Structure 1
Amino acid sequence: MHAPRPPATVRALTDRLVGAPLRRLLAWLRTVPIDDPVDRRNAPMLQLLLVVIGTVVPVLAALRWQRDWGIGIDVTRELLAMLTMAFAWTCLYLVRVGQFRVAASLLIASSLGLLGVTYATEGLRIQVDVQYLHALPLILGGLLLGRRALWGVAAVLLLVFALGAARDLAMMLDIPALRSAAYAALLRASVGTLIVALILDRAVSALREALLSATRRGEELARTRDRLEREIVEKERSQAQLLHSQKMEAVGRLAGGVAHDFNNILGVILGYASRADAALDPDAADASLAGIRSAAQRGAVVTRRLLSLSRDEAREVAVFDAAAAVRDIAPMLRQLFGQQVQMAAHVAAEPLPVRLDRAEFELALLNIAANARDAMPDGGTVRINVERQHGSVAITVTDSGVGMPPDVIERMFDPFFTTKARGHGTGIGLAVVHRLATEAGGAVRVDSEPGRGTALRLLLPLVDAPPAVTTRPATLRVLLVEDDAELRGLLRDALRAAGCDVLAAGRVREAQALARDAERIDAVVSDFDLPDGTADELFADLAPRLPEAHLLLISALDRSAARRHSRGLRVRTLAKPFAPDRLVRMLLEMAQAGPRRDG
């Protein structure tokens, strides 16, 4: 069984009384101004040895004085002890000021000098029992100063042993047996010293070689690191240049595609507007207006593609019936395909509610249809199926076009990737589709082979349908703020035609004055950029005075989202361009939802 661990309080007390002082002592021993890494590594050990010598030697001397006080003190021994203590503290000071090798040399020299005096006065045989201690200068010389110092110390030790043997022989001239013992002691001491020196020489040599190899390896690694850092920096610079060139190429490709689309749109609008028979034939006039409306809707699709890719478009996420949305957009899809493509739509009769931005959903369908049309340059057939499938809405668009190889399928959802000729494709349509599906928790599946057409399936999760609204709200009083006079007049007339009471303004100050004089305002509709401020400033000023009024931002870019959230205001957004009836429907939906609730 394991021994029980001491209580936490005992461990903490032990650490405070022993561990903390010991850590501070070790930190103090390591803090020395020494440049050489080997010397700096050896400095704590040498300092600790010097502290022990400088402390133990006077303690032992004091004990001897107490023991021999009445008998007589050996003055020579005590002087040598005091010299040893003085050398130890002197060497410690030298280490602390950065003179490591001077301190080590002085310590070894003083030790050898004291040994020489001891052997010369007392002889060799009397030191036999403590000769292992006399190997300390040899060990210190080898470990601290290197091989040359090691063999120098060994030579001095042999000389010291010779002095001791000479002292023994001088006292034993008339005793042959003792003379033989003196020679034997000299031989043993010399051979032992040489063996220890040889072992230390090999050990020190191997240690120095290992340290040198480690140093070289470290320098090599440092050079490799520097080279890799330079290569990484160069690679990042090259990658940045490549990305810049790719962005420039993508911008050029995008600009060409947008210019191509808008040229076609403007051509259609100008063509319908210049029809001379429209002024005489009501049916021709209706057809011209329908063509202009359709062309304008195509222009809105182009701008939405750009805004949706950059995520700057104001998004309105709501629950709507995907099946009904497909039925509503089907006429536009048929016009998009033209006369050469036969389109068949099979849409489930049951409601299929999804939670999305409806504009983005319609844009995704238009993008899928546009790609299907471009895959059939000589005409063909397109089938659109909308059905419930395992808790999801499955919208499948199947064309009889040229199909795609696997490498194109792998990259078809990458932004700006297109296989169309320069100026005829932006490469952002399917990227918008993929983003819409993934952000809604759905997916996009593609089945295609060259020459066999393509089937693209958009899977969107079903949600609970919102409760039906059966009552129409009372007359709304709307504060409309739009700096474009023509658009302001158009929206004002559409709102009044829907039964709303409209106060119209073109500036922030004008809107603030109308709000102060009005008895009631149910909704504030404002463009973002105004001549004397922004919609954010207007909403922040009116919100406290109109705590229940709905706030609606109409803008192509939702640039104020972060600031609205910071103020805690609940602001709905409607992305331009939009049809006036869309604004009317959104205001009615907001009114039916009850008063505004911020936060």
Structure 2
Amino acid sequence: MPSVMTRWLDVPRIQDPVDRRNAPMLQVVLGLLASIPPLLWAYRVFGSGLAWRPGETASLVTSLVISAIALWSLVLIRRGRFQWAIRQMLVVVAAMMLVSYAMAGLMSHTFEQPIQVMWLFVAGMMVGRRALWAMFAVLVAAMVLGGHSDATRTGEPLSEAMADVGVRTVMFLLITIVVDRTSSALRNSLSEATRQAVTLADTNRRLSDEIVARERAQAQLLHAQKVEAVGRMASGVAHDFNHLLTLMLGYVERGRRSRDISEIDAVLGGLEMAVRRATAITHKLLAFARNDARQLERFDAVDALREIVPMLRQTLGPRIPLELDLPDTAVPIMFDRAQFALAVLNLTANAAQAMPEGGRFSLVLGSPDADGHVRLDAVDTGHGIPDELQAQIFEPFFTTRPPGEGTGLGLAVVAGLMADAGGSLTVDSAPGQGARFSMRLPVVPAPEPERAAA
């Protein structure tokens, strides 16, 4: 938690981030400048007991004026006018230095020159290079005026006074160069950081837009593949409905011929069962094809596989038998049930296309392993996949089929669904030896029954 003083020094009214960052330090400097010089002069006048030297009156007036301006600049900063306050302070300081050196001489400012170094730092760090070198030029001009004043007042040769000015000028020049290089490096670093921040923000915005577009495209693709799968199942569904309609017509004909109440009840019961079966088929088709958001649920993978067996057989066709190797116990997983069916259908369709002249296809569901995962293998006896293509088959739009016969999206969709669920999809294949696609999914253990209260 920031202290009370830190919170007070922060000035939210200052809009520029750099000025706002510099404001606390400058307020401290101005506060010290507004308070310490008057205290030192009070000690000099009332507590030191030293004789008053020529020129000290001008130094006293100059110092007190600068302290007053520092206090006013502090007020301006509190009102959010940072640059106005600092520039005003520097202009007043420069003018007062010229007047004070011209009136009091160079030697009387010897003990104040460390404070004048501070104004070089303030000008360079908080305003810029021009202000820094302008302040240096003012300081050199003030020292020249002070040296001339000392020579005139004491009668010493002007050359000796100017030699002292030259030594001090070299000292301040070195300090100014250091401040200039330091402030330039800081400004360049800040500009580079600002450019990188802007670039990073633009990149992040584009990435966010791309992610949203990708998620939207993936959702549309999933829906399209569901509809495509429903289309492939249309003939099988029509066959099932034809059986149900034939069964219903048989019950109706049977009911027309019967006058026995118990027989009519049996007919009505049979009709109800047939209607319920037709309704269940319709609801499953609608649930599978709808474009809803992902609905995670805990379900038994064994039941889910048995439920879609008719769709799998219709996808494979009459030349490819379907073999199931499922455990006797339940295998609970957390997944979208419709997307799980879609993933299995995609692998089944991929196997069917790999065996145009027939073959065998099997689904093998293992038992949960020690890591809490279960593996579902889709095994076919097709033409296999070369080693150089196995790293590409999960890439979107990659396909080895002729144009119009494949989109290259089926395996990419399955891999994406597995990754989203915290699983994986791998392939083990060789040319002429078929392929084994392995889906590895986390198992969700059954919740422990709550203990009855004692």
TM-score range, shorter chain: 0.5 to 0.7
TM-fit CA distance, 1:310: 5.8
Map 1:126-525 to 2 at 5 A: 126-128=108-110, 130-173=112-155, 175=156, 179-253=158-232, 256-267=235-246, 270=249, 300=277, 303=280, 377=318, 393=328, 414=343, 416-417=345-346, 419=349, 448-450=379-381
Q: In the superposition, relative to structure 1, how do residues 444 and 90 fare at CA in structure 2: closer, same or farther (>3 Å)? A: closer
1:305-345 alpha-carbon deviations (Å, 9 max, x no partner): 9659969xxxxxxxxxxxxxxxxxxxxxxxxxxxxxxxxxx
Residue 44 of structure 2 corresponds to 64
Match for 2:139: what amino acid?
L
TM-score relative to the length of structure 2: 0.58
TM-fit CA distance, 1:147: 0.9
Q: In the superposition, relative to structure 1, how do residues 228 and 363 fare at CA in structure 2: closer, same or farther (>3 Å)? A: closer
Q: In the superposition, relative to structure 1, how do residues 366 and 46 fare at CA in structure 2: closer, same or farther (>3 Å)? A: closer
Find the aligned partners of 2:209 and 2:170 in 1 and give their Cα distance.
Answer: 58
1:197-249 alpha-carbon deviations (Å, 9 max, x no partner): 22222222222222222222222222222222332333333333333433443
TM-fit CA distance, 1:149: 1.0
Match for 2:381: what amino acid?
P
Match for 1:26: what amino acid?
T
1:428-466 alpha-carbon deviations (Å, 9 max, x no partner): xx9x9979999xx9968658542899xxxxxxxxxxxxx
Structure 1 or 2: more strand by fraction: 1
Match for 1:303: what amino acid?
A
% identity of equivalent residues: 32
Residue 11 of structure 2 corresponds to 31
TM-fit CA distance, 1:146: 0.6
Find the aligned partners of 1:239 and 1:379 in 2 and give their Cα distance.
Answer: 30
Match for 1:110: what amino acid?
V
TM-fit CA distance, 1:88: 1.0
2:143–2:165 contact (8 Å) kept in structure 1: yes
Q: In the superposition, relative to structure 1, how do residues 415 and 257 fare at CA in structure 2: closer, same or farther (>3 Å)? A: farther
1:124–1:185 contact (8 Å) kept in structure 2: no
Match for 1:84: what amino acid?
I
- Segments of structure 2 that go 5 or more residues without pairing to the other structure are 259-265, 289-298, 331-339, 353-360, 383-432, 435-451
1:467-499 alpha-carbon deviations (Å, 9 max, x no partner): xxxxxxxxxxxxxxxxxxxxxxxxxxxxxxxxx
Find the aligned partners of 1:297 and 1:171 in 2 and give their Cα distance.
Answer: 124
1:54–1:85 contact (8 Å) kept in structure 2: yes
2:325–2:365 contact (8 Å) kept in structure 1: no
Find the aligned partners of 2:122 and 2:304 in 1 and give their Cα distance.
Answer: 85
1:58–1:82 contact (8 Å) kept in structure 2: yes
Aligned pair 1:92/2:74, yes or no? yes
Deviates more, 1:110-119 or 1:153-162: 110-119
Find the aligned partners of 1:234 and 1:181 in 2 and give their Cα distance.
Answer: 79
1:58–1:85 contact (8 Å) kept in structure 2: yes
Compare CA radii of gyration and give the structure with the larger one: 1
Residue 445 of structure 2 corresponds to none
Deviates more, 1:302-311 or 1:224-233: 302-311
Q: In the superposition, relative to structure 1, how do residues 221 and 445 fare at CA in structure 2: closer, same or farther (>3 Å)? A: closer
2:23–2:82 contact (8 Å) kept in structure 1: yes
Q: In the superposition, relative to structure 1, how do residues 448 and 138 fare at CA in structure 2: closer, same or farther (>3 Å)? A: closer
Q: In the superposition, relative to structure 1, how do residues 180 and 445 fare at CA in structure 2: closer, same or farther (>3 Å)? A: closer
1:265–1:296 contact (8 Å) kept in structure 2: no
Secondary structure of 1:188's match?
helix
Find the aligned partners of 2:165 and 2:51 in 1 and give their Cα distance.
Answer: 33
Secondary structure of 2:3's match?
helix
Residue 335 of structure 1 corresponds to none
Out of 40, 48, 66, the position equivalent to 2:28 is 48
Find the aligned partners of 1:82 and 1:108 in 2 and give their Cα distance.
Answer: 15
TM-fit CA distance, 1:263: 0.6
Q: In the superposition, relative to structure 1, how do residues 255 and 82 fare at CA in structure 2: closer, same or farther (>3 Å)? A: same
Find the aligned partners of 2:229 and 2:315 in 1 and give their Cα distance.
Answer: 20
TM-fit CA distance, 1:366: 8.0
Aligned pair 1:113/2:95, yes or no? yes
TM-fit CA distance, 1:36: 2.5
2:11–2:23 contact (8 Å) kept in structure 1: no
Q: In the superposition, relative to structure 1, how do residues 25 and 35 fare at CA in structure 2: closer, same or farther (>3 Å)? A: same
How much is the aligned-residue C-alpha RMSD, in angstroms? 5.2
TM-fit CA distance, 1:111: 2.2
TM-fit CA distance, 1:69: 8.6
- Segments of structure 1 that go 5 or more residues without pairing to the other structure are 1-19, 280-288, 312-355, 387-391, 396-410, 422-429, 454-596
Find the aligned partners of 2:319 and 2:83 in 1 and give their Cα distance.
Answer: 93
Residue 285 of structure 1 corresponds to none
Secondary structure of 1:414's match?
helix
Residue 102 of structure 1 corresponds to 84
